Amino acid sequence: MAALPASASLDRTLAALADPSRRQVVDLLSQRPMRAGELAQAAGLSPQAMSRHLRVLRSSELIEESHEGVDARVRLYVLRAAPMTELKAWLEATEHLWSSQLLAFKAHVERQP
């Protein structure tokens, strides 16, 4: 079976999403951009813990800060589409690879007497 090519950005995405709290942040941000305090409250985390999770999500480029709105001092966190698009493409390729392998195995088993 041929291995799928991995990329550093895909590795960062998967590492960031390995933590349930960070997946929860991604789920919350999929609804709308939010401030750090809102995220901490919605996730039931301390501001310090949220800050650490946001730092990991920013370094993995899953989220970015936005200063749009009425007050430029307010930082909103928003999801970035590119890492999730890359992850989705990798998952689809993996699924295709495994489907092909399983179909070949099924054909081999069915040829046996």
Give me the architecture of the 8-80 domain, per CATH. Orthogonal Bundle (1.10)
What is the per-residue pLDDT for 6?
63
**Cα–Cα nearest to 23, from 61, 53, 65:** 53
Mean pLDDT by 10 residues, the chain (113 residues): 66 95 97 95 97 96 84 87 92 82 76 77
What is the per-residue pLDDT for 93?
87
What is the per-residue pLDDT for 69?
65
pTM greater than the 0.95 cutoff: no
What is the per-residue pLDDT for 94?
87
> Using CB atoms within 10 A of its CB, is residue 10 exposed (0-12), middle (13-18) or buried (19+)?
middle
Distances in whole angstroms, Cα of residue 87 to Cα of each of 16, 45, 72? 12, 27, 32
Q: What is the DSSP letter of 34?
A: B
User: Residue 2 is encoded by which pair of tokens?
Assistant: 């041929």
Question: Domain spans of the chain?
Answer: 8-80
Q: What is the DSSP letter of 74?
A: P
What is the per-residue pLDDT for 108?
74
